[in-house]
Amino acid sequence: MSRARPDLIVGRLAPSPTGALHLGNARTFLLAWLSIRARGGRVILRIEDLDGPRIKFDAAGRAIDDLRWLGLDWDEGPIVQTKRLALYEAAFERLRERGLVYPCACSRKDVETAASAPHPGEEGPRYPGTCRGRFADAAAARAVSGREPSWRFRVAPGEVTFVDGFHGRVAIDVSELAGDFVVRKGTGTAAYQLAVVVDDSDNGITEVFRGDDLVSSTPRQLLLYRALDFEPPSFVHVPLIVGEDGLRLAKRHGDTTVHRFREAGVRPERIAGLLAEWSGLAPLGAERMPRDLVAEFDLARVPRSRVICPPESSLEKTFGLPPMG
């Protein structure tokens, strides 16, 4: 399935239209873009819009406009996930034919109730394997729950290891961390883990560059790469931009969206310069466009710890804006 060439470096920008592009997202996209452009590679733009209930109207269009305004260009795309459902279904069928997935009648509440030690992972508590070996087929699961089952990937015990471009060697036991994970939702659409593996393989992605909140997703994706006989890309996970409470940026931290500052008249050089400053790539108060940073880009200059985004009032002063009131 992969269109990769051994001599070609290919990365991607993959915004999810569940909200506006904020400074934390933009900083990660800047670094991902620089990592590829500094080596003469190609950039693909992908819109990850499978999370139906959380998708915001026109968020994809705004993200595209904001990226382009910031000077982050791409060579192919936008590739939209909801237009690629047949590819995900074909991959799921391969897994099913190989006996690597099984139907699950559990709701999220069932999993939370059964879990002995819930943890705040991005996909909820560890799945205890309630439905593994329980049903002969989807019809049997449907008869128990009265709804279409989700499908989970069978995870074998043991660590999955990979070398992260920023953190070095990482080893995670998926069976202990997450258990058998969902690859196809009860709605019939692919879950995040399967969709991104299919997309990255089909698009010939050689480097996945993203925030370190997704480190735990990588071993799950590597299991799927192996199961589908796909060649995995390399992975780079950089520390997030967080609020003063240590949590990743969100509405609770005020309006830190690129759109807000763009509409207020802040120039892209000032925003990109601040993102570069936070990344150790430019001095305090510098004005830069992404293209200005390509020649001297060095991932080793990026801070090893998470960067704290100033409160909205401080950002307004930095950009010379009047308070929002």
State both tokens at 282.
């430019």
> Is 83 part of the annotated catalytic residue set?
no
Q: Residue 128 — φ and ψ, nearest 5°? A: -85, 5
Look at residues 38, 47, 52 and name the one whose alpha carbon lies nearest to residue 65: 47
Which distant-in-sequence residues (6+ apart) come within 8 Å of 93 by Cβ? none
Instruction: Judge whether 77 and 49 are in contact, CB under 8 Å.
Output: no
| Catalytic residue (choose from 56, 109, 185, 251) | 251
DSSP 74-140: -SEEEEEGGG-HHHHHHHHHHHHHTT-EEEE---HHHHHHH-SS----TT-SPP--TTTTT-SSHHH
Q: What are phi and psi of 168, to 5 degrees?
A: 85, -150
Conformational region of residue 170, where left means phi above 0, alpha means psi within -120 to 50, and beta covers everything else: beta
Assign 3-state DSSP to the chain and report helix, strand, coil percentages, each to 5.
40, 20, 45
C-alpha closest to that of 308 among 231, 264, 249, 233? 249
What is the Cα–Cα distance from 309 to 83, expressed in whole angstroms?
Answer: 35
| Rounded CA separation 135/137 (Å) | 5
Whole-angstrom distance, CA of residue 230 vs CA of residue 86: 17
How far is CA 40 from each of CA 7, 8, 9, 203, 290, rounded to the nearest angstrom?
11, 9, 7, 17, 14
Could you tell me the sign of the dihedral formed by the alpha carbons of 231, 82, 33, 248, in that order?
negative
The residues annotated as belonging to the active site are 251
